[in-house]
Amino acid sequence: KRQLMKCFEAFYRPENMFLVVAGELEPQEVFERCNKYVRRRAGRAAPRLPEVHEPTKLCSKTVVERMHVERPKLLVGFKDVKVPRLGPMLLRRSIETELLVEIVFGKSSRVYQRLYEKGLIDETFSASYLADRGFGHSALGGDTDSPEALLEAVVKAVNGVRDKGISKASFSRIRKRVLGGYLRRFNSPETVALRAVAARFLEYNPFDVLGVVADITVEDINRRLREHFKESRMACSTVLPDGKP
């Protein structure tokens, strides 16, 4: 509890806060209310986090745990390297790799359909990419009755896609869908606010997203395919039910 309170006092401070306000409001009234109710804390300034350089090597290739679950679960991760720390370059890296992951493992992909038809995955399967200040990774997986067979199939699928490359047709179809998804997000004030906060802390303009998506080419995606999906940067985590072999 003491450590949690020290963390709260150190970082949950008004000077670390970013406020997004939307609606039919008078800006001056918002500023006045903020000045009235949000005050800087007395005492020491908020500490600055040290700059951490993410190592390129994996911490562990394989992790197996037994837990109270009904079915086995498998999660496969691919570590990214040389991830930009901030700004437009980080934004572009994120969008390029999100597109790549969706093309290869999205629910409309051939890989997904083959894995589903073989009974290796179900509706719990998902794939995504996350990048932040100097680190990133893609992760895919879900519930499966055959973790080892699914891992083998994923490795085979990744190697097959790397050998063949991403076609212009697949790229164009997924890019249009992703672009439509970003446009739909503007219908939700909450989503716009969340995006604005994330962009503020990572130092890019949230309204640049659409232009970045439109600017990405199939050559960019094939470059990311060769860079990102490497077995040397792959790790897997398996959760098995308690008391079962």
CA–CA separation, 138 and 59 (whole Å): 16
Could you tell me how far CA 118 lies from the centroid of its own chain? 27
pLDDT in single tens digits along all 245 residues of the chain: 889 988 887 788 777 788 888 778 888 998 888 888 877 666 667 677 777 788 888 989 999 999 999 999 999 999 999 988 889 999 999 999 999 999 999 999 999 999 999 999 999 999 999 999 889 999 999 999 999 999 999 999 999 999 999 999 999 999 999 889 888 888 888 888 888 888 888 888 888 888 999 999 999 999 999 999 999 999 999 999 987 55
Q: Tell me if 196 sits within 8 A of 206, measured CB to CB.
A: yes
Give 196's contacts (C-beta < 8 A, 6+ positions apart): 20, 206
Beta bridge mates, 65: 239
Beta bridge mates, 120: none
Q: Tell me if 131 sits within 8 A of 90, measured CB to CB.
A: yes
pTM across the whole model: 0.85
Q: Closest Cα to residue 97, out of 224, 227, 226, 234? A: 224
Residue 31 structure tokens? 């500023």
CA–CA separation, 100 and 166 (whole Å): 9
